Chain A
Amino acid sequence: MSQPTQHALVNVDEIEVVDGRTYENLEGWIPELASDEDLKAALEKAFDYRGDISLTFKSGEKVEAYIFNRSTGSSLANSYIQYFASNAPDKRKASYADIARIEFTGKDRAAGKHWEAWLKKYAEKKAAGETNIGLHPEALD
């Protein structure tokens, strides 16, 4: 399991405002997996990604899945991910050692949904004379 990064010695009680983290646009990314470290780093990003990932296993099987957990051990063989495939109801587990290719194919569901984007949209709609302005959840089908 990844360990949290320690930050420099600051008194957190004196912090006035906390900045957000820089957004990383990963949609469409296909990482090169030249080494074990590449694979581990890519799966860590896949775990953070708010969209589906296409996984190709060394067996040739291909799965579109949402990766919700990862656990890293001393080797690829004892490291694993857990995921929900988009076409199956149950949780699945796969060893890092069985993964051949990772593609960030699914839509990033977190992208562009920050507060400032809402203010901008609101202002535009208001200026256009719209009423009952709001953001609505995306359709599930």
Chain B
Amino acid sequence: MAVPISQMWTVATYVLKKKLSGQKKYPLVLMLEPLFRCNLACAGCGKVQYPPHILKKQLSPEECFAAVEECGVPMVSLPGGEPLLHPQIVEIVNGLIARKKYIYLCTNALELKKRIHEFTPSKYLTFSVHLDGQREHHDMSVCREGGYDLAVEGIKEAVKRGFRVTPNSTFFDGTDPNMVRAYFDEVMAMGVEGIVLSPGYSYDKAPDQQHFLGRAKSRRLFRAILSNRKKSWKFNMSPLFLEFLMGKADRNYECTPWGSPAYNIFGWQKPCYLLQDGYADSFKELMETTNWEGYGTASGNPQCANCMVSCGYEPTAVNHGFGSLSGFFAMAKAALFSSYKDKGALDLLNNHTTFAAQHDHFVKIDSIAAAPKLEETRA
């Protein structure tokens, strides 16, 4: 496991304190979106499609600190938009470090190499670099030729300067698991601390891609990717969440939507980081007025039917791992026996075209032909 002991200890004691105090619903990671502005324009992104006057707005450092203190989380993720476009991002990061929060600054890294000298390495700060695969695939994914090279330059510079770095990858329908495994080799060779990954999700209000991974296909894909692991691969994630993605028995988790609450210029987002069903003015209001039973797969809500995303399911895995003996032993087992030998998964790798049968997101660039006019869709 790639997560440092001090961070695990902080999270473990936080979960235990909450359990001992009898608190049933509590957050683990604040998804703090300081702005929606971005220097990429990825097709299908659900976070940046706003009028200019909204994209120009941003949270002040004081608003960021108040949100963190209000919900009391041990970890803060700083997505966006592109956080490095925020003129006070260094002040925000330093303020969170001073509060001893473990921060994941999520960046596309286009500006990272240029800006890295403004930050100071700390065990509390991780650059979580958006990287969706090898060069060709990442560039197509972020709709920018050259995006991969800039991101990798940023990663290498950050690693060289002693920062914690985790590439953060989202995989959509059509992903070739062999490509993903080759990508794991590539990024681990760059000296990153560990890999973060998640299946894609059809954003409720974003321009849509025509099809997204359903749960059955997601489980097959991640079984192929994550079984028969190489020793060199490290993951900066709960091992139980990875087992959930692989479809392992006893990992039939339900979503914990309050586990990763999102705060941005609109307020506290209901019910989670991915769905936008309204906003609350305070964290207390979010927790008390959201109809939590209306979300997650058990609710029958179709918006949740295909979701296996980390912001909802990793808190469940972390609570299981640190909040029960069975979970703790399962984590220990995952740490000791991390290769997940699986012949069936090898067969899936050898027959990976099953993953790309209908919808080639990860097509070879040279093979792209002009497509006929498609009916516009929107999730």
Chain A interfacial positions (CB closer than 8 Å to B): 1-7, 9-10, 12-25, 47-48, 50-52, 66, 68-71, 82, 84, 86-87, 89, 91, 106-107, 109-120, 122-124, 126-127, 131-141
Contacts and interface: CB of A to CB of B under 8 A. Distances in A.
B279 A82 contact: yes
B170 interface: no
B335 interface: no
Interface in B355-378: 358-359, 361, 363, 365, 368-371, 374-378
B343 interface: no
Interface string B286-301: 0001010011010111
B51 A66 contact: yes
Contacts, number: 212
Interface string B68-111: 00000000000000000000000000000000000000000000
Contact of B377 (A20, A48, A52): A20
B49 A3 contact: no
Contact of A15 (B143, B306, B371): B306
A137 B370 contact: no
B54 A84 contact: yes
Interface in B100-136: none
28 contacts: A1-B277, A4-B303, A13-B297, A17-B173, A17-B217, A18-B306, A20-B208, A20-B212, A21-B378, A22-B377, A22-B378, A23-B208, A23-B377, A66-B54, A68-B279, A69-B267, A84-B57, A113-B43, A113-B44, A114-B44, A114-B210, A115-B210, A116-B371, A117-B43, A118-B143, A122-B143, A135-B42, A137-B41
A4 B40 CA distance: 32
Interface stretch (B144-152, B153-161, B321-329): B144-152
A140 B173 contact: no
A103 B314 CA distance: 41
Which of A2, A118, A133 has the most chain B CB within a 10 Å cutoff? A118
A112 B375 CA distance: 10
Contacts of A68: 266, 279
Which range holds the interface residue count of chain B? 35 or more
Contacts of B363: 119
B211 A19 contact: yes
Contact of A134 (B145, B266, B278, B303): B145
A117 to B, nearest CB: 7
Which of B252, B358, B369 has the most chain A CB within a 10 Å cutoff? B369
B262 to A, nearest CB: 13
Contact of B371 (A1, A22, A123, A140): A123
Contacts of A48: 205
- 9 tightest Cβ-Cβ pairs between the two chains A and B: A20-B208, A15-B214, A23-B378, A134-B144, A113-B207, A118-B43, A18-B306, A4-B301, A135-B143
A122 B376 contact: no
B279 A20 contact: no
Contacts of B379: 20-21
Contacts of B375: 23
Contacts of B41: 113, 134-138
